[in-house]
Amino acid sequence: MTEVGEVTCRPGARRALWFFVAFGAAGAGVAGAWTTYRGPDPLALALGPSLAFIALVALHAVTARVDADARGLRSRTLLRRWSAPWYEVADLQIRLRHRGSRSSEFCRVSVLLRNGHRRTLPLPVGRLAELVDFHDQLTALRALHQRYGTDVPESARIPVVSDRTAGSVPVSAVAWCATLLICAGVAAGFVSDVAADQRAWEAAVPCTAATPVAQRSECLTYTSAVIARTDPNRPRTDSWLYFTDNRPFERLAVPVEAADGFRAGDKVQLTFWRHEVRTITGSHYVWHQHVESAAVLAAIAAVAALAAGYPGAQILQSLRGRRLPGDEVLPSALPFTLVLAGTAVWLVPLCYLHPTTLFASATTITWAAAGTLGTAALFGWAWRATRVRAPRPAEVAAELPELDGEVFLSARFLEHTDYNPHGFGTHIALGAGPPAVTPGPGRFAARRIPVERLTVRTVRRVRGGDGDSVPSGWHIAELDDGGRLVRLAAAPDDLAVVLRELGVAVREPS
């Protein structure tokens, strides 16, 4: 593979892709012709754009191509072309993505450039059934890079960049954060107007003969009417009340509860305000039109702003880890959810009770100040909990107390071994008896760990290739098990205790 002179990557199933291109184009053409000669048709208007989109997606996939030779890398798609000489390429890595479930996992090649930027190549693509071909093509590309590149990484390990690692840009988090903040800003912008309308409705009085015509929309007027029939519709379509003689109008859209509450022949009184029916009063049922509440709108704005805090925390974690290697897993942003929950406890009630007077009294100012101090304390705790901890198990183990009796620490070997068959172990038993791998906090089905044949190569943080089952805050000890690499994952303090109790020497990471 080191003598590879040229690599060409093309999509698989090219005939099937070209079939979808032809089928989609033909279907879109037929739908367009039908619309032209027969007029707009709902089915044709729906099928035409859908088939055209299928044709474009298939055409984009079938025209993708990646070439590599002594000159460098070149990629081509339907809309973009890109190339880079080998001396600009720092490394070729695996970009791991998930689409909803573990079974939909697929890989692509991520090109790390000298300037720190990344570019994901359209090909090769590796799915569950194509991983062998993917790794063969990636190995060939890396062989060309080692042959013609400069300052090629000495390690043969292929870094894996996923959505959890430092080398991934949180595009979805940025989009969600921006969308939620915009929604919160829009909702907050309407609070004052809604509050003014709410106060005006509550202060409205019946019109009198002396009320000027120009001001009659701001007072209450009344009209008698007779309901001809009702038309209740469920569950989400509008229900209707029909009036006799089309007075004051033919029909009125109401909720289904109002349509069930009134009967044909009922004499009712309609209350108008600002040219709209606000109340229908009958002998046995009264309907009030929903009036927007400034308190509810302010609370919604606060909730939307708080919801934007979690993707914002993910962005913050990405910025904090920008100097880490691209394949190292970042600490989870989940501790910041406690900050957001604690903030919601005081912020949402404050916005609900005082939507337009947040800082108009000493009570609200004190409320906001005390809540802000609490949020700051929680934020400091979350900031410390999500820091990147350096793997120093030897120093940590020396500071931890000795075990008192038998304990079961949450830890797992990531490889299938004779003492961890099929990865069944979730805990390690220490203390009374020999160290053993167990499927839970108990000695049932325990398998003894062969300590005598284990040595520690290094201790490191979690990387993208270690799997999503390993929590981001854990550390991994790479053990030599008779010449075979075995990975042991656990929380930093627990891993230090495990290595201490196993009695294996730990080399300091380089």
Indicate whether 470 pLDDT > 90.
no
Structure tokens at 419: 């003492």
Sign of the torsion formed by the C-alpha atoms of 290, 292, 295 and 299: positive
Residues 412-416: what's their mean pLDDT? 91
How far, in Å, CA of 500 to CA of 477, rounded?
12
138 CB-near residues (< 8 Å, 6+ apart): 92, 94, 109, 124, 158
DSSP 508: P
Residue 249 one-letter amino acid = F
CB of 155 closer than 8 Å to CB of 147: no
The predicted model scores a pTM of 0.77
CB of 309 closer than 8 Å to CB of 336: yes
pLDDT at 510: 41
The more confident residue out of 378 and 33 is 378
Domains located in the chain, CATH noted: 7-158 (2.30.29), 205-288 (2.40.50), 393-502 (2.30.29)
Put the strands of the sheet holding 72-76 in their side by side order: 7-9, 65-69, 72-76, 81-85
Element (H, E) at 196: helix 191-203
pLDDT at 458: 87
How far, in Å, CA of 19 to CA of 25, rounded?
10
**pLDDT tens profile 107-161:** 889 898 988 888 989 988 887 556 778 888 888 898 888 888 887 777 778 888 8
**pLDDT tens profile 323-361:** 888 888 899 899 999 999 999 999 999 999 998 888 888
281 CB-near residues (< 8 Å, 6+ apart): 268, 269, 271
How far, in Å, CA of 179 to CA of 173, rounded?
10
How far, in Å, CA of 191 to CA of 156, rounded?
59
**pLDDT tens profile 71-87:** 889 999 988 999 999 99
How far, in Å, CA of 165 to CA of 185, rounded?
31
Instruction: Read off the pLDDT band of 183 (50, 70, 90).
Output: very high
| Phi, psi dihedral angles at 160 (to 5 degrees) | -115, 120
